Chain A
Amino acid sequence: MSDDADVTIAPRPDPAPAACGAGTTIGLSDAVVQARGVEREYGQGDALVRALVGVDLDLERGAYTAIMGPSGSGKSTLMHILAGLDRPTAGSVRIDGEEITRLKERALTRLRRDKIGFIFQTFNLLPTLNAAENITLPLTIAGRRIDREWVGQLIETVELGDRLKHKPAELSGGQQQRVAVARALASRPAVLFADEPTGNLDSRTGEEVLGLLRRSCDELGQTIVMVTHDAHAAGHADRIVFLKDGAVAHDCGRLDRDEIYEVVKSLEDVG
């Protein structure tokens, strides 16, 4: 951007590539997640922060969606609300048809347990459990019978067969995130949420994890929502939703890396 100083800035063409719809697409026939008018405010008075200012979003079953946007645009906040970890100040969220914003604590816990899978940027695994135990942890918590065949398939998918007895501390960052993916898939959640799952990985191991998510979607039909600010990561998704200032700025289909950069850049410039 430093060379911008030397050139005259020409008027830009339409910032969004052709694959992007104006605003967002709602009213999908088979939406696992339906968000309507979601708002989230923090603090009050002078310290009021409007993290989300009215988000409408439908997420199709079996789709792999990336949520992008500049830092502070509300990506994490949105994900937390969609996943039942946080409540919106206004608006509604449905998961699998069930309105979740007014659920009691207990029901929310059950929702997270049965319908949702999580992958965080770091610290996804319990240090005292080995890889296999971490993978089956959600099932153990739910008191569900462990489906050996399914778990075996997962372990195969994440290619960790020889590391199952290892504790997280004995695994590399990439291996840990792969275990986290398997863990998130174990309970066959309706939606898998991943918040910057490759944020702490180098590009090669990051690629392993991204490939794994892609395969989960393709082979297992897993619905995935991934928050990221990494264009390369977003490039794996079927759809990319761009947030800016707490609202959906663009809703695009598959984009390649250059297209993503372009949109990101446009968003930063407008701000």
Chain B
Amino acid sequence: MIRVAWRSLRSHKLRTVLTTVAILLGVAMISGTYVLTDQIDRGFREIFTDAYRGTDVTVTRKARFAGQLVGATEGLPQDMVEQVRAVDGVEQVYGYATGMGAVVVRGEVVQTGGAPTLFFSYSPNDLTPPDYVRGRPPEEPGEVAVIQKLATDERLQPGSPITVVTDDGAHEATVCGVFRFAAQSSLGGSILVHTTLSDAQRWFGMAGRISEIDVRAEAGVSAAGLAARIRAALPAYTEVKTGAQAAADQTRALSDAIGTFLRPVLLSFGGIAVFVGAFIIFNAFSMTVAQRRREFALLRALGASRSQVLWSITAEALVMGVLASTAGLFAGLGVAAAVNQVFRSGGFDIPHSGLVLQPRTIVIALVVGVVVTMLSAVAPALRATRVPPVAALQEGAELPRSRLTRLTPALAAVVAVLGALLIAGGMYGGGSTLVRLATTAAGALSVFVAVAIASRSFVGPLAAWLGWPLQKVSPVSGRLARDNSRRNPGRTALTAAALMIGLAVVVFVAVLAQGLKSSFIDSFDRTVRADYIIAGTNYMTIPSDTERRIESVPGVEAVVSLDAQQVEAKDGVTAVVWGIDPVAIGRVWSFDWISGDDAALAELGRRGAVIEEQTAASLGVKRGGIVRVTTVEGRRADLKVLGTYRDPMILNGITVGMAGYDALFPKSQTFMVVAKARPGVDVGATQRAIETAMASVPTAKVRSTDEYKESTVDLVNQLLTLVYGLLALSVVISLFGIVNTLVLAVYERTREIGLLRAIGMSRAQVRATVRYESVITSIIGALMGIVVGVVFAWVVTTRFAGQGIVFSIPGAQLAAFLLLAVVVGVVAAILPARRAARIDILAAIQYE
């Protein structure tokens, strides 16, 4: 039977290829995701393992929690090194200071694509000494050594000048050496810089302190035993681990980040692609079964059982599924390799020790491809089994209507209600984020299915309506296309539905992004009363002396530094604490009070706070209540809530006065400085003066408030582009679906086309007919996608209205998507239209 299936697939090569590609692409995306994330995972595991190779025990300051805004802890006293050295069984001790900053070469900040620029103090005691390829480690203050990738990219030699920017300001330095770390010339795009201990302490505000102590045990001493002895000798605020444990913890942190974010995100795009592919396979099999109706009837008349007919189709699906998944698996490897190439040429190395193809990836790719293909073919196959043997003798190609056809509206309604319930459950119900996301996604898929089922009943009128202008433009091709797209509404509906899915997600994302942008601008306009915003790129911190530098610029009336740190504000719930100058803030900021008023600012003192409404809600506090916050180092404070305000975009957390902030945190960590020009001064000239004052700190961008708004909108747009890129695959797959449907339709209409050509229709007119039908289908898909996407976005924005995302429809973008659909239609029609135009008239009108 497999052989029969194989032969049948081979005899319809084009159809087989088109259908296979539909599922292949989704499988490729899924397997590519696994290959890529496994590779990153293994790459970093190797790096961390190498980094801790010579280290038996590490000592750090205990962190209460982890978070994105958690900066470096206060560290350990430098003399703790001696305390550790005194422990029995210690052979060598290496204490160093580390911190994050930026490197400026020839006046330009070296971009890392979001990866950190890390500084380490060098010591000859280093347990895993880096491999110096040129020059030597730093010995004198002002000397730094850089990782090889930076030296190569920026053409740095021993002797080259370089500027180091840290929270403490800009520092001139000279390159003294180039090294490789853990045998890597680069570390996933991060930049590593070696400094002297005294420079590191100065630049990172760690006078007399270090970040970590690494220990090597004497021969024969167990790492675990030594760790226990060191732990006993040190104060409770330290964290003592074995080197292996530290490497594993760091690897796990990264694996978790990949496993809980990168991989699921990429997989969900792959899932959408597979889902679209399933529609196309279902449609393709439905069409073939309809076409081969007499063949099945003949088989039945010759005595084949229903199950034999069923098996003949499922066998085809099986072969196709296996083909598609195998090819998809290899395509996935190709995708991963290509992504590596793209990142590498973008200067952002993904650690690579070759592509990683785990057995798990192979199994998932095969299972997804085969199961989805076979499931999609089951319903059409069942219909084939209901073809009565007598049909072999009848004319016409109508399949017996599915028993469910009569129930179609009811079925659509049931699935839609199920989808709505799932979405509601996911959005408003309880459970973990993952469960809720999965429930919502299942709901969304159900809605897609419901719309696809329901669409067969409105595709006809919609096509008539859309075809009307085409018919006006082109009386023959337009008219025929309009009629053709209505001839088999079920088929047109499914073909359009495949496009709907991809576009619905695109529209959903676009509407959300638009909402995000407009609420950002809205909230910004409502609160910010400043003229200038000074901030880093990618939410990096800027030097804490920025405020002071700008204060002295003539023409500046007020400057406020917005500093932030993360705290634990309830068990397991972290919040951001913003530190502001309570007096100056009123000149540049207008709080949108919900309770309390500007008078609250004056009362902030050391123990007062005002809270953004969402944070207040999640912590369950009101004006007059108390919030207990714990810093990463374990410092506690009970803050009295003096007011609540609305500011979902910037000060979204707990805002305290500078006095309260300094009491909690050892370092300021400035994210943004807002400044205002004196009334009457030239705003542009003052901006240039501020830029001059900040010239030595190129990491801090000086922008007018309008420029700042624009740059934030740009950032959202960039993200949007990335998401569009990931969704493009689904749209491409649905394009193949349109091609498939059209090729079949053209084949079925060979005689009609022959007749039309015989009575004088030109090839161009034939092509136009196919093209118009394609465009009508794709526009139907786009319209359904836009409606569904907008509704989804409306549901989500309504649910999360409190978090500041408004519902706002990007009209121009939706129009652009419609245009994109037209392009998809036109492109999809190229091949089928060419085939239609090439139909041999004589062969087509032959009747024998």
Partners in one complex: yes
Q: Which chain B residues in 459-501 approach chain A with CB under 8 Å?
A: 475-476, 479-480, 483-484, 487
A184 and B755 alpha carbons, distance in the complex (Å): 12
Distance from A191 Cβ to chain B, minimum over Cβ atoms (Å): 13
| Structural contact, B841 and A141, CB atoms closer than 8 A | no
Interface check A97, CB cutoff 8 A: no
Tell me how far the C-beta of B760 lies from the nearest C-beta in chain A, rounded to whole angstroms.
Answer: 3
Contacting residue for B756 out of A114, A121, A141, CB 8 A: A141
**A124 CA / B756 CA spacing, docked (Å):** 9
Contacts of B755 in A (CB 8 A): 120, 123-124, 126
Is A128 a contact partner of B480 (Cβ separation < 8 A)? yes
Least Cβ–Cβ distance between A168 and chain B, in angstroms: 11
- In angstroms, how far is the closest chain B Cβ from the Cβ of A100? 14
Chain A, Cβ-Cβ closest to B761? A141
Residue in B closest to A110 when the chains form the complex, CB atoms: B760
Collect the chain A residues with CB atoms within 8 Å of residue B845's CB.
Answer: 120, 123
User: Which residues of chain B from 831 to 845 have any CB-CB distance to chain A below 8 Å in the complex?
Assistant: 841-842, 845
What is the interface of chain B mostly: helix, strand, loop, or mixed? Answer: helix
- Return A10 CB to nearest CB of chain B, in Å: 38
Q: How far is the CB of A131 from chain B (nearest CB, A)?
A: 15
**Chain A: CB-nearest residue to B752:** A126
How many chain A residues touch B (Cβ–Cβ < 8 Å)? 31
A85/B760 contact (C-beta < 8 A), A127-B752, A128-B483, A140-B476 known? no
Distance in angstroms from A145 CB to nearest chain B CB is 11
* Number of chain B residues whose Cβ lies closer than 8 Å to a Cβ of chain A: 23
Closest to A114 in B: B760
- The verdict on A64 contacting chain B, using a C-beta distance below 8 Å, is no
Question: What are the interface flags for B740-766 relative to A under an 8 Å C-beta threshold, 1 for contact and 0 otherwise?
Answer: 000000000001100111111111010
> Given contacts A80-B842, A141-B756, are A128 and B487 in contact (CB under 8 A)?
yes
Q: Which residues of A contact B761 (CB under 8 A)?
A: 109, 113, 141
- Is B751 a contact of A137 with CB atoms below 8 Å? no
How long is the Cα–Cα vector from A110 to B757 in the complex, in angstroms? 10
Which of A109, A117, A118, A120 is close to B847, meaning CB atoms less than 8 Å apart? A120
The residue in chain A whose Cβ has the minimal distance to the Cβ of B762 is: A109
Distance A237 CA – B825 CA, assembled complex (angstroms)? 50
A112 near B759 with CB under 8 A, answer yes
Q: Which residues of chain A have C-beta atoms less than 8 A from B756's C-beta?
A: 126, 141
A128 to B773 CA separation, bound complex (whole angstroms): 14
Per-position 1/0 for A117-143, Cβ under 8 A of B:
110111110111100000001101111
In chain A, what residue has the closest Cβ to B759? Answer: A138
- Could you tell me if B759 and A137 are in contact, using CB atoms closer than 8 angstroms? yes
Asked whether any CB of chain B lies closer than 8 Å to the CB of A178, the reply is no
A229 contacts the other chain (Cβ, under 8 Å)? no
CB B221 to nearest CB in A, in angstroms, measures 89
B394 → chain A, closest Cβ, in Å? 15
Cα distance, A72 to B838, chains bound together (Å): 27
Could you say which residues of chain B place their CB within 8 Å of the CB of A105? 763
Inter-chain contacts of A148 with B (CB < 8 A): none
A128 to B485 CA separation, bound complex (whole angstroms): 11
Q: Is the CB of B760 within 8 A of A122?
A: no
Chain A's nearest CB lies how many Å from the CB of B621? 69
B760 touches A123 (CB 8 A): no
Task: List 15 additional A-B contacts (Cβ < 8 Å) besides A105-B763, A128-B487.
Answer: A85-B758, A109-B760, A112-B759, A120-B845, A123-B751, A123-B752, A126-B752, A128-B480, A137-B476, A138-B759, A140-B475, A140-B479, A141-B476, A141-B761, A141-B765
Q: Which residues of chain B have a CB within 8 Å of any CB of chain A?
A: 475-476, 479-480, 483-484, 487, 751-752, 755-763, 765, 841-842, 845, 847
| Cβ contacts A to B, 29 pairs, < 8 Å | A85-B842, A105-B763, A106-B762, A109-B760, A109-B761, A109-B762, A112-B758, A112-B759, A112-B760, A113-B761, A118-B758, A118-B759, A120-B845, A120-B847, A122-B847, A123-B752, A124-B755, A126-B755, A126-B756, A128-B480, A137-B476, A140-B475, A140-B476, A141-B476, A142-B760, A143-B475, A183-B759, A184-B759, A187-B760
Interface residues, chain A, CB within 8 Å of chain B? 80, 85-86, 105-106, 109-110, 112-114, 116-118, 120-124, 126-129, 137-138, 140-143, 183-184, 187
Q: Which 3 interchain pairs have the tightest Cβ spacing?
A: A113-B760, A128-B483, A112-B760
